[in-house]
Amino acid sequence: MRFLVVDDDLIRHEEFERLLKKIELSEPSEVVHTYTSQEAIHALKQQYFDVIYLDHDLGDNEVCKNDNTIPVAKFLCTQEDQRGKLGHYDIVFIHSLNPVGARNLFNILKDMYRLCVARIPYIQLLDSLQGMAKEIT
């Protein structure tokens, strides 16, 4: 499975990497890390991801102040699958601590995704991933 993590927090990236590598199902997992909306869009143009984890606020870095993932959500909504249907990514998790930003992302994505768009606090998401990792190991 391919995972895309979009977050400005290095510690969160390390946690995602550690846990997602433990949750290897039928094939080795690939985790791609991006820290800005521009990096995320570039990665999305390069390859397909089975699961996308989006933080909203990406402004705590030197590269891009006041960045967020609204452009990423809008980009996702313009992508077509092989059948010409928009929104071909299977699962998108929104894990922002910013409730207004998370709701805005959710509202952009909710109508485009056939399978799952979930808004989940980071701590709860981390607990879920840790539980999955324990079940597999």
What's the confidence (pLDDT) of residue 43? 93
Q: How many domains does the chain have?
A: 1
pLDDT bucket at 29, cuts 50 / 70 / 90: confident
Assign residue 8 the CATH number of its domain: 3.40.50.2300
47 Cβ neighbours under 8 A, 6+ residues apart: 2, 32
Most confident of 12-16, 33-37, 64-68, 73-77: 33-37
pLDDT bucket at 136, cuts 50 / 70 / 90: very low
Pick the closest to residue 38 from 89, 1, 72 (CA basis).
Answer: 72
Least confident of 14-18, 29-33, 41-45, 113-117: 113-117
Identify the domain containing residue 50 by its residue range. 2-136
**C-beta separation of 125 from 100 below 8 A:** no
What's the confidence (pLDDT) of residue 3? 86
Helix (H), strand (E) at residue 105: helix 99-109
